[in-house]
Amino acid sequence: MTDYRNFKIDTDKDGIALITWDMPDKSMNVFNEEVLVELDKIVDQLVADDAVKGVVFTSGKSSFSGGADLTMITGMFSTVKAETARNPDTAQQVIFDLVGKMSWLWRKIETCGKPWVSAINGTCMGGAFELSLACHGRVAADAPSVKMALPEVKVGIFPGAGGTQRVPRLTNAQDALQMMTTGQNLDPKRAKAMGLIHEVAEPKKLIPTAKAMIKNGLKPVQPWDEKGFKAPGGPVWSAQGAQLWPAASAILRRETQGNYPAAAAILKCVFEGLQVPFETGLKIEQRYFTHILQTPQARAMIRSLFISLQELNKGARRPEGIKPVKLKKVGVVGAGFMGAGIAYVTAKAGIPVVLIDKDMDAANKGKAHSESIVQKGVQRGKTTKEAGEKLLSLITPSSDYADLSDADLVIEAVFEDREVKKTVTEAIEAHIKPSAIFASNTSTLPITGLAKNSRRPKNFIGIHFFSPVDKMMLTEIILGRKTSDKALAVALDYVAAIKKTPIVVNDTRGFFVNRCVLRYMNESYNMLIEGVPPAMIENSAKMAGMPVGPLSLNDEVAIDLSLKIIRAAIADMGEKAVDPRHLELVERMVETEGRLGRKNGKGFYDYPAKPGKKHLWPELKTLYDQQDASKIDVQELKNRFLATIALEAARTMEEGIVTDPREADIGTILGFGFAPHTGGALSYIDEMGAAEFVAMCKSLQRKYGKQFKAPKLLVEMAEKGETFYGRFGSSESAATRAAA
């Protein structure tokens, strides 16, 4: 048989060919042009070989496949851009043919006349799961590592290799829509219950089970290719369909606010596809994918949430020439909510951690936080009792700073007060080894100032975690003026170990994410003071694509913390640093009304005891004279929220706080959920165009104030027709530039 670079083929005495996908020099199998070409040849070869009675397709790696390769994705965008520029009249056909390559190869497999079985031995995502669905039989290993999903909607596209047609023909349409519009992971048990796989086998019996399906007479014909096939969810035009489709459309609108065309395309593909023969359904899917691939949402989301995210996670900002550091022990000082969370994620990564506080009661209370998370994980089947016990054994509570003597990295997570941090820093440095890296988990205090308390400022760095630590995926790494490349490398190695996404920022008050968040909340204060109805403020923010309204977010952060931040800004920078109306509003909420936020059950919202739902504080609308809601421009409210955040992100680029647009975009999305459909705050500007964005801001500035004044950098970019990814592209990879 022909030798292939990415596949190995072994045919047994029963005539069953085992295709093992094992790409050299790759930790995970992915689809690229070479893989598709080889697979096409393999199909022809096995069909022509009379000795082959059936095929089992599996992976030679611990995971099955993560889907498409970066080069394949960026190649599509390059083709779209080039063909549209070259010949707009024929571009659509070229793009249509391009996006159908994988889909029609999968169709070739399922109509080849010989039974194929997919033996899924690990993570199976996107196009790989669509390939599995095209096989006549599917077996998954019964292991926690096995996850199946069609997650494309999370990066602005949708399952375009037959997923929208096969899934609703294997399971009911409601479950199919839920799976594809959320991109949810399925474990083997759930996938089998939905009818998406046929068998679940012990890992060692995966291949024998797959082969047994063929020996037992597996038909090489898909259900939808048989005469009289009926979809499990029933016809679209039926009583059942009449209940599903109007509700599905309404739910999608509620959840996405119309900001995600790919999610809407999924509904259209399924709705239209179930009314026509299967191959016509594939063409419908291909048509919608051609359209979605050309939307700004797809461009921006793939660049930020797929390409840039992977690059940052793989150490794009790690200094060159410094060997990777494997941490043997980490110290966490401060066993409060943040410190306890840091200790948990450290132990979860398999790193021993000593958790220190002023006394053993406080330290033990910090470890109890991890015990609570583990207990819930065991109850929900997310982990095993044994794995939980192993994790907890790595956390050592202590009140003795001497236990930090052999730590490679120490993270200070004490109260946000300069004097407290000074005292703790001195106590830590009296015991740690000279090579240890010291990190402060501070959310606003400049690292350079805190480093003055250190005897080794080169080893001093900021690692800003977000709450709750076990759920938030972003970390902000802050460089002080004297922070060394070694300290940065160790911080990045640590963040990689705990599986968080890092952004690296230079030192300033509030760093990057909090500066942007504060602008978001401040604009809601402005709107309240103007008399915009509170419900309208919250709803317009969510319509703009924010996951929660600014008033709700302020409650989560705590309104009394907002008051501390305002007063600290006045103390450090003078009274002109803040809007006096904001101080008056927040002082009234905290000191007059006693409304601190969710933590005391009352803030901008009221939080009744369960099962009651939170609701806006009724008296909030009485604080200021209310405008007539019917005369308020909702689009302008949306623009104000997005623009005020994007302007602050642009200012940080101008000031050199953030130097890489990838980090600004990822930071705003993962840090506080900035409208993911835009690709992030800077992508929002780039997609609109700097000139149009500046013009919009000038209009907003005339009506609402100086917070909308565009910085000189943006004005210059508008005049030159530049983008952030073009102007600051030196730090990008070739793949990112291609996608842009």
Q: Are 603 and 554 in contact (CB under 8 A)?
A: yes
Work out the percent of the chain whose per-residue pLDDT is above 90: 86
What domain range is 253 assigned to? 7-294
| Position 255, amino acid | E
Q: How far is CA 634 from the centre of its chain?
A: 28
pLDDT band, residue 1 (cuts 50/70/90): low
CATH code, 136: 3.90.226.10
Which pLDDT does position 734 carry in this prediction? 35
How many structural domains are present in the chain? 3
| Residue 719: predicted pLDDT | 96
* Assigned domain for 223 exists: yes
Over residues 545-555, mean pLDDT: 95
Cα torsion 644, 650, 655, 658: sign: positive
pLDDT band at 737 (very low <50, low <70, confident <90, very high): very low
Candidates 446, 352, 17, 5; CA nearest to 214 is: 17
Same domain, 439 and 532: no
3-class secondary-structure state, position 462: strand
| Predicted pLDDT at 87 | 84
**193 and 228 co-located in one domain:** yes
Residue 667, domain member (yes or no): yes
- What residues contact 87, with CB distance under 8 A and at least 6 apart? none
Phi, psi dihedral angles at 153 (to 5 degrees)? -60, -25
Strands 116-120 and 54-59: parallel
590 lies in the same domain as 646: yes
The residue type found at 337 is F
pLDDT tens track for 641-676? 999 999 999 999 999 999 999 999 999 999 999 999
* 42-46, 413-417, 724-728: least confidently modelled range: 413-417
Same-domain check for residues 362 and 443 = yes
Kindly state the tokens that stand for 366.
């910090």
Report if residue 319 sits inside a domain.
no
Residue 317 covered by a domain: no
Residue 160 DSSP label: T
Instruction: Read off the pLDDT of residues 569-591 as tens digits, 9 standing for 90 and up.
Output: 898 888 888 999 999 999 999 99
pLDDT, position 437: 96
484 and 578 both lie in a single domain: no
Residue 740 within any structural domain of the chain: no
Q: Which position among 136, 198, 369, 464 bears the catalytic label?
A: 464
Residue in the structure block whose two tokens are 């601190």: 596
pLDDT of residue 659: 94
- Region 397-418: what's the mean pLDDT? 93
Residue 320 belongs to some domain of the structure: no
Give the separation between CA 421 and CA 631, rounded to whole angstroms: 50
- Domain boundary residue, one of 509, 524, 546: 509
CB 428 within 8 A of CB 438: yes
Q: Is residue 300 part of a domain?
A: no
Question: In Å, what is the CA distance from 255 to each residue of 119, 182, 286?
Answer: 35, 10, 25
Q: Provide the CA 208 distance to its chain's centre, in angstroms.
A: 37
SS3 17: strand
Residue 736 has what pLDDT? 36
Q: Confirm if 635 and 258 have CB atoms less than 8 A apart.
A: no
Task: Tell me: do 273 and 346 sit in the same domain.
Answer: no
Are both 111 and 152 inside the same structural domain?
yes
For residue 301, is it within any domain? no
pLDDT tens track for 150-166: 999 999 999 999 999 99
DSSP code string of 565-605: HHHHHHHHH-GGGS-HHHHHHHHIIIIIS---BGGGTBSSE
Is 374 found in the same domain as 273? Answer: no
- Distance CA(73)–CA(457), nearest Å, equals 43
pLDDT digit string (tens) for 475-520?
Answer: 999 999 999 999 999 999 999 999 999 999 999 888 899 999 999 9
Please give the structure tokens belonging to residue 720: 């030159």
Last residue of a domain, one of 458, 493, 509: 509
The answer to whether 55 and 47 have CB atoms below 8 angstroms apart is no
**Is residue 110 predicted with pLDDT exceeding 70?**
yes
Q: What is the mean pLDDT of residues 453-462?
A: 94
**Tokens at 723, concatenated:** 């983008």
Residues 616 and 675 in one domain: yes
What is the pLDDT averaged over residues 75-96? Answer: 84
Strands (E), 110-160: 116-120, 124-125, 137-141, 148-149
Known catalytic membership, residue 464: yes
pTM for this structure? Answer: 0.91
293 vs 79, higher pLDDT: 293
pLDDT value for 732: 40
pLDDT in tens, 357-388: 999 999 999 999 999 999 999 998 888 899 99
Are residues 52 and 133 located together in one domain of the fold? Answer: yes
User: Which pLDDT belongs to residue 508?
Assistant: 86
Which of these three, 509, 534, 564, is where a domain ends? 509
- For residues 458 and 584, membership in a common domain is answered with no
Q: Are residues 367 and 438 in the same domain?
A: yes
Can you tell me the distance from the alpha carbon of 127 to that of 133, in angstroms, rounded to the nearest whole number?
10
**CATH (domain of 718):** 1.10.1040.50
pLDDT digits (tens, 9 = 90+) for 187-235: 999 999 999 999 999 999 999 999 999 999 999 999 999 999 999 988 9
| Position with higher pLDDT, 399 vs 81 | 399
Q: Is the per-residue pLDDT at 415 higher than 70?
A: yes
Contact assessment for residue 66 and residue 128, using Cβ atoms and an 8 Å cutoff: yes
Measure Cα distances from 569 to 31, 529, 577, 656, 721 in Å: 51, 21, 6, 21, 36
Residue 77 half-sphere exposure, CB side, CA atoms within 13 Å? 22
